[in-house]
Structure 1
């Protein structure tokens, strides 16, 4: 009987005990890390490392987009830009005439229309910004989730119009997928493709043969490739 009692006492401790390592290499390869506390906080939606090795991130505190450019060598803040009355979803490098600029995108205004802007990479100033309006009710919202630079050096943008939820980079429904081609010189809309078979273009890429592919989604259905 003593043997049975001892077994019942020690069995839980042997089964559920946690092994704690004496040493670990966790986080050993971090070169630097920084916490930026100036200004309002917001969720970082996208970050990139540009061709010069610096970092650029876009995040969205309430009713504004903020962009930080960060030195890739030591993590120091190079500049910060705030753009009010916008929601910032995406950021892409645009290299032109020896300068790294940034294309930022998302939505603008109370009805959240599609919004794209080009920032001067040297100081964060706005080179241009454009809002692309779509007729609709006050409860329909638009946005540009991401942009890319094509082999023809034009901007290609993916997003949605007529969505049911504002202020979020996550998937929204009840709208239509949209893909745009935009002139990087001044933001002029070259063309816009609206696909009613999909509700949200999550991403856009260019193939080696020059075709543009859009990855979309529809409520309770599989992903859609266009």
Structure 2
């Protein structure tokens, strides 16, 4: 006869894991809801002239700081459990947050929170801003992974390519050149990487199409003599 207490013990463990997942899921759902609000605010950059963006960026910064609070709450719970057992619950939302941080910083937001005046934030700067560790190898704790950071950058490139087109509609002919130079630099950086992650490798292939999209916009502006002379 098999002692039924063995299965009772297993059920207890299952219930405990379920409780952990429920607690994490509740935090992630809140993070996702706030993330959608942040991205909705940042999307207004596509219909707002660059010299009128400050109110939009101030609002986005406030929303990003609200998401940061949820990340710290998530970290407090996640640190008590194996990272790779549960990180699938939040990885997408963390990527989306890093995307929002990078886009907001590039547009000129997060002025009082980002390191220096650079439009591009390194993974270390993002980690410092969120007050979470990055790329942990020797410790099983909540952190921002390199893969999450790179996937966020790819999303940023795609969004900037769209912004280049919409900037022309708004009569801003300098911004597509600025975007083009920036994403070309990022593309060159990605070409230095030997990517093993299948999803990351496939997503990174899209950068070249974004670069071409912006190059086509700049080319059309050049044909029409609309490229600013000081650009």
TM-score tier by shorter-chain length is under 0.3
> Normalising by the residue count of structure 1, what TM-score does the alignment of the two structures yield?
0.28
Whose radius of gyration is greater, 1 or 2?
Answer: 1
User: How does the TM-score come out when normalised to structure 2?
Assistant: 0.27
Higher strand content, 1 or 2: 1
Which structure has more relative contact order (CA 8 Å, sep 6+)? It is 2
Q: Whose helix fraction is larger, Structure 1's or Structure 2's?
A: 2
